[in-house]
Amino acid sequence: MKKISSIILLISLFIIVGCKSNKTTAVNKKYINSDSLPTLIGRTTPDALLHKDFSDWYLDEYNSYIPDSKIIKKLKNRIDLYTIEVFYGTWSEESKVLIPDLLKIIKLSHYPEKKLKMYAVNEKKQSFYGEDVQKKIIEIPTIIIYRNYDDKNGIRREVGRIIKEPSKKLEEDIYNYIDNFGAKHKKSKKKHKKFKKLNY
């Protein structure tokens, strides 16, 4: 009897684990906000902005933005080492400018789309599954740039963030964060080599 109970318990556990692993994060969710407007919430993909609810402002800005081709060329060789995480609102006027610009930069620089994490937030700057928690999101949009060290285990380090609007052109701000981090990293490596030589 005990054996039968143990077998039933094991089967139940397998079913529960199986159900949990089959749960998928809802993507491109929409709700109607306090102004009666369709609004994206939670994890989104760039394609979500091509929906008729958002495509007018998205395509207008996307098609009119002309990134600096010299900066784009520099980004092509380095940007794939980084993860870009975006918190934005389809209700936010600043997002309606910065997000189309960012997506154009990403496309032209051949950035792998799987490394782009986009989260739409509500007016309280909250995402659907709480992806904003501990990210200190104060203004929308916020673009966070991380240097990847171990993609498999999600080991990465924040190297900079662009909040609300860039200080220069967006692609230039992104490149400067990447370039400055690379320069600091090289300096620390050189120092480490000097200390090693002194030890001998």
What does each of the 200 residues of the chain score in pLDDT, given as a tens digit?
545 544 444 444 344 444 444 457 789 999 999 999 999 999 999 999 999 999 999 999 999 999 999 999 999 989 999 999 999 999 999 999 999 999 999 999 999 999 999 999 999 999 999 999 999 999 999 999 999 887 677 788 999 999 999 999 999 999 999 998 866 655 544 444 444 444 43
Alpha carbon 61 to its chain centroid, in Å, reads 20
Is residue 66 in a domain? yes
What's the structural domain count of the chain?
Answer: 1
- Structural domain of residue 112, as residue ranges? 39-184
Is residue 94 in a domain? yes
In 3D space, the residue among 51, 154, 172, 54 whose CA is nearest the CA of residue 102 turns out to be: 172
Q: What pTM did the predictor assign?
A: 0.80
Strands 155-163 and 38-44: unpaired
Around Cβ 126, how many Cβ atoms within 10 Å? Answer: 17
Is residue 126 in a domain? yes
Is residue 22 in a domain? no
Is residue 177 in a domain? yes
The domain that holds 125 is classified in CATH as: 3.40.30.10
Is residue 189 in a domain? no
- Per-residue HEC secondary structure of the chain comes to CHHHHHHHHHHHHHHHHHHHHHCCCCCCEEEECCCCCEEEEEEECHHHHHCCCCHHHHHHHHHHCCCCHHHHHHHHCCHHHEEEEEEECCCCCCHHHHHHHHHHHHHHCCCCHHHEEEEECCCCCCCCCCCCCCCCCCCCCEEEEEEEEECCCCEEEEEEEEECCCCCCHHHHHHHHHHHHHHHHHHHHHHHHHHHHHCC
Is residue 55 in a domain? yes
Is residue 34 in a domain? no
